[in-house]
Amino acid sequence: MAISNDASAGQFAEMHWKSLQYFNLYRFCISLLLFLSSVFHPTSISMFSPDSGSRHLVITTLYLLATTFSLVGLLYYRRRFNMQLSLCVLVDVLALTLLMHLGGGLRSGLGVLLLVNLAGAGLVGQGRLVLFYAALATLAALAEQSYRAIVSDIEMVDFFQAGLYSAGFFAVAISARLLAQRVITNEELARQRGVELKNQTLVGQRVIEEMQDGVLVLDRTGWVKQHNPRAEQLLGLGDPSERKLVNYSTELARGFSYWCEHSSRESVLVRAPASGMQLRARFIATDSSERDVLVFLEDMGRLQEQARQLKLAALGRLTANIAHEIRNPLSAINHAGELLSEECSDQTTKRLLRIILDNAQRVERIVSDVLELGRRDRAYREQIDLRLALPILVEEYTLKEKMDAGVVQFEFLGLAVLYFDRSHFHQVLWNLLGNALRHSQGKPGSIRIKAGDAGDGWVDLHVIDDGKGIDDSLREQVFEPFFTTHSRGTGLGLYIARELCEANGARLELTDSESGADFYISGRTIE
């Protein structure tokens, strides 16, 4: 592998020094084999001429010491890369040329070792230096052949063979350099692609982690392979050895099995046992080799909260216009109607004026309710002792509506403490009591208020009447705005009551009862 600079530090420095270390290890092995061949000379395993005496042993010994020094020194001294590589090539050329001379010239076959060494140096070194190494080997081979021609007679074919070797030196060096350049280009491209892939992976991972929706990666058997932190919160993912989908939500596992069989695009509504949240799950197939499935989990409570926020923003704009555009004309209508009723003596006219004034007051109540709804986000919650607060509130309502005191009865269980805004609580109970009184028989005990602890920091408050109850076809509509079955109602009472409960972290629901209607509030006892 080639190197692009002489620095001991850099992006590819460690790889370059390791390549030089492998090159030196090869040189050490070659020198060791040559040394052993000299030690066991003249045996059948020796490659040297019997006439060379002990000179080859001296050269191979020095060559072995030089390669050993280069190999060991590289572990402690990693500077001047090109100088170290050049010294190694110089030693190889000198040692192999001398051994080649002792072995009878190029016919000894040792010139092949020079070709291999030049190829290794071409892969490790720089371009111009590689040509310098080839030129150095060529000069050494020609010098050896010329010296041999001076001291003894040689055939012309030996010079031709030296020329072929010289051409081979340059061909091997250039080929190795071109190969090294391709390797460098591919390595740089791979490095850039690796950096881009890492950046994309980090960005994608960050996006998934910050998503408000939970993300799961499942295999076809329902095993959770990956998930983001939001999915862990929603489903309560725990021990990796137990990350089977059915262990966290049987409803979600059934939905996943149905999707695998029918490939349905419809979302599945499930409730997570660990968090108690209602989730909407969407299953999407992937093109991965293992046919993994992506599962997106959306918190329906968060979606509903976003819808409520949009609704509140619209109500805020609406109430600002209502306060100015409707209340002023209403005041004028009421004032004019009252003046006319004082001066008019005709009974028919008085009846018509009374209809006008009653409907004007009804519109005034609607405006007041809508304005109050626009202020639902101003909740200052505190702990309310229902044992003390409910009797006082019912007493106020009884005096105002001139209702018998025994119509409302209480039943308390546990501490019965509710964490709620006091003014909001007063308005919610006032609406529920008015609704219960309007539909009850008005007898002693017709309205029952039950308050008690529900466990896990929750408290339930029931307002039950003994009326006819609410028809099943109307259960979904009673909390809708402007829906009413009473001729003088505004249709906003129960709607506002539910909105105020949600603003205080509570729920207002209609449940089944043996007789009449049962509206209950489920709220926290502490924050």
**Per the domain annotation, does 3 fall within a domain?**
no
Asked whether residue 293 falls in the same domain as residue 327, the answer is no
Tens digits of residue pLDDT in 132-155 = 888 888 888 888 777 777 777 666
Do 454 and 324 share a structural domain? no
> What pLDDT sits at residue 47?
57
Residue-wise pLDDT for 8-65, tens only, equals 344 445 777 778 888 888 888 888 888 887 777 655 545 555 555 577 788 888 888 9
Q: Do residues 30 and 165 share a domain?
A: yes
Burial of 160 (0-12, 13-18, 19+ CB in 10 A): exposed
Indicate the pTM of the whole model. Answer: 0.43
In a domain, 330, yes or no: yes
Helices and strands in the chain, H and E counts: 14, 12
3-state helix, strand, coil in the chain (%, to 5): 60, 15, 25
Nearest to residue 89, comparing CAs of 124, 43, 61? Answer: 124
Residue-range definition of the domain harbouring residue 454: 381-524
Q: What mean pLDDT do residues 254-270 have?
A: 80
Distance CA 251, CA 246 (A): 8
Q: Are residues 389 and 340 in the same domain?
A: no
For a pLDDT cut of 70, what percent of the chain falls above it? 82
Q: Are strands 447-455 and 408-413 parallel, antiparallel or unpaired?
A: parallel
Q: How far is CA 501 from CA 186, 302, 459, 461, in A?
A: 65, 16, 13, 12
- Give the pLDDT of residue 449: 92
Percentage of the chain surpassing pLDDT 90? 6
Residue 282 pLDDT: 85
Confidence of residue 451 (pLDDT cuts 50, 70, 90): very high
CB 222 within 8 A of CB 302: no
Model confidence at 338, pLDDT cuts 50, 70, 90, reads confident
More confident site: 292 or 241 = 292
368 and 501 share a domain? no
How many CA atoms lie less than 13 Å away from 510 in the CB half-sphere?
A: 22
pLDDT at residue 3 is higher than 60: no
Tell me which of 277, 302, 327 is where a domain ends: 302
Tokens (6 digits) for 190? 């791979």
**Residue where a domain terminates, one of 278, 302, 326:** 302
Q: Give the tens place of pLDDT for each residue, 359-383.
A: 777 777 767 766 666 665 567 889 9
> 62 and 23, same structural domain?
yes
Report the CATH number at residue 392. 3.30.565.10
Task: Judge whether 59 and 120 are in contact, CB under 8 Å.
Answer: no
In 3D space, the residue among 520, 522, 504, 509 whose CA is nearest the CA of residue 382 turns out to be 504
- Domain with residue 253: its CATH number is 3.30.450.20
Which three-class secondary structure state does DSSP give residue 114?
helix
- How much is the pLDDT for 463? 92
Given a cut of 80, whether residue 425 has pLDDT beyond it is yes
Does position 129 have pLDDT exceeding 70, yes or no?
yes
Residue 419 lies in a domain: yes
pLDDT at 405 over 50: yes
Answer yes or no: is 200 within a domain: no
Name the band, by pLDDT with cuts 50, 70 and 90, for residue 7: very low
Same domain membership, residue 297 and residue 416: no
Q: Is residue 5 part of a domain?
A: no
Residues with Cβ within 8 Å of 467's Cβ and at least 6 positions away in sequence, in order, are: 436, 439, 440, 441, 515, 516, 517
Q: Is 217 or 104 the better-scoring residue by pLDDT?
A: 217
Residue 40 lies inside a defined structural domain of this protein:
yes
Q: Are residues 167 and 229 in the same domain?
A: no
What is the rounded average pLDDT for all residues in the chain?
Answer: 78
* 133 closest CA partner among 80, 167, 97, 169: 169
Check residue 521 and give its pLDDT: 92
Angle, nearest 10°, between helix axes 127-151 and 111-124?
A: 160
Do residue 85 and residue 163 come from a single domain?
yes
pLDDT, position 489: 60
Least confident stretch, 64-73, 280-289, 409-418: 280-289
- pLDDT-derived band at 488, boundaries 50, 70, 90: low
Same domain for 453 and 477 = yes
94: in domain: yes
Asked if the model's pLDDT at residue 5 lies above 50, the reply is no
Window from 390-394, 446-450, 509-513 with minimum mean pLDDT? 509-513
Q: Which of 321, 340, 373 marks a domain boundary?
A: 373
Residues 520 and 394 in one domain: yes
**Which residue in the block uniquely carries the two structure tokens 């028989």?**
441
Rounded Cα–Cα distance for residues 424 and 410 (Å): 21
In a domain, 205, yes or no: no
d(CA 365, CA 65): 107
The tally of domains found in the chain comes to: 4
Q: Do residues 221 and 92 share a domain?
A: no
User: Between residues 290 and 412, which one has the greater pLDDT?
Assistant: 412
| 456-477 pLDDT per residue, tens | 888 999 999 988 888 777 776 7
**DSSP, residue by residue, 269-289:** EEE-TTT--EEEEEEEE--ST
Q: Is 166 exposed, middle or buried (0-12, 13-18, 19+ CB in 10 A)?
A: buried
Predicted confidence band of residue 485 (pLDDT cuts 50, 70, 90): low
Q: Where are the beta strands (DSSP E) in 124-264?
A: 214-218, 224-227
By residue count, the chain amounts to 527
